[in-house]
Amino acid sequence: MSADGWLADTRTSYDTVAASYAEMLRDALVAAPYERAVLALFAELTRLGGEGPVADIGCGPGRITAHLHGLGVDAFGIDLSPAMIDIARRDNPDLRFAVGSMTDLDLTDSCVAGILAWFSLIHVPDDDVSTVLAHFHRVLRPGGTLLLAFHVGDGHRLKTEGYGGHPMNVYVHRRPPDRVAAWLGDAGFTVEAQLLHRPDETRHGAFLFARRGSDKE
């Protein structure tokens, strides 16, 4: 499938489920202590690296963006789905949100102190991941922190329904952490930590922390 094809399907799918997705996941972090801890660590690392804005890329309705803001991070959100961005702006009028694609980020070079992709890389086909990571490297300033959260496994499945039974048409990709870490290395990042979430269950996730080195490294 071409980039235009899967991007259009992803945009339409999340426009369709935006309202139910936002409602179903609104309070999900309350019962997710490990995810809150990972986000708190990310917030600390971005502050240690110096003040600056942090991009939540694939932000959906803005719940993680708002959580980071509550941790003292100057977070803003970008998402492919206009309907998701409408909800994010409605629910968080004091935060910044924009429609955009991680495959073609409309951000200037070295403009952010941190990047978060919270289970948003899961719909990007393998062949397009290098393009996404190249954009992440370009817009992240030297020394900045990148956090990727993704589903662990090998292969993909077509998701045709979700979030209240609404129709969807997106592929969900599951990847071994070592493969993602290798892609990060190829893109110029240094992986600093790898955490597995619920590793004994059939559906589990991973969190990879990486840093963009200084231009002198």
Q: What is the pLDDT of residue 2?
A: 52
| Count of domains forming the chain | 1
**Is 117 domain-assigned?**
yes
Phi first, then psi: give them for residue 117, nearest 5 degrees: -125, 95
Cα separations (Å) of 35 from 38, 67, 138, 143?
5, 11, 27, 23
Yes or no: say if 105 and 135 are a contact pair by the CB < 8 Å rule. Answer: yes
Q: What is the pLDDT of residue 3?
A: 61
CATH number (domain holding residue 100)? 3.40.50.150
| 3-class DSSP string for the chain | CCHHHHHHHHHHHHHHHHHHHHHHHCCHHHHCHHHHHHHHHHHHHHHHCCCCCEEEECCCCCHHHHHHHHCCCCEEEEECCHHHHHHHHHHCCCCEEEECCCCCCCCCCCCEEEEEEECCHHHCCHHHHHHHHHHHHHHEEEEEEEEEEEECCCEEEEEEEECCCEEEEEEEEECCHHHHHHHHHHCCEEEEEEEEECCCCCCCEEEEEEEECCCCC
**Is 130 domain-assigned?**
yes
Q: What is the pLDDT of residue 215?
A: 59
Q: What is the pLDDT of residue 49?
A: 83
Q: What is the pLDDT of residue 50?
A: 83
Note the pTM of the prediction, 2 decimals.
0.94
- Length of the chain equals 217
Q: Which residues contact 123 (CB under 8 A, 6 or more apart)?
A: 6, 10, 170, 171, 172, 173
pLDDT, one tens digit for every residue, the chain (217 residues):
556 799 999 999 999 999 999 999 999 999 999 999 999 999 999 998 888 999 999 999 999 999 999 999 999 999 999 999 999 999 999 999 999 999 999 999 999 999 999 999 999 999 999 999 999 999 999 999 999 999 999 999 999 999 989 999 999 999 999 999 999 999 999 999 999 988 666 668 999 999 998 755 4
**Is 16 domain-assigned?**
yes
Where in the sequence is the domain holding 106, given as residue range(s)?
A: 3-212
**Is 217 domain-assigned?**
no
**Is 79 domain-assigned?**
yes
**Is 144 domain-assigned?**
yes
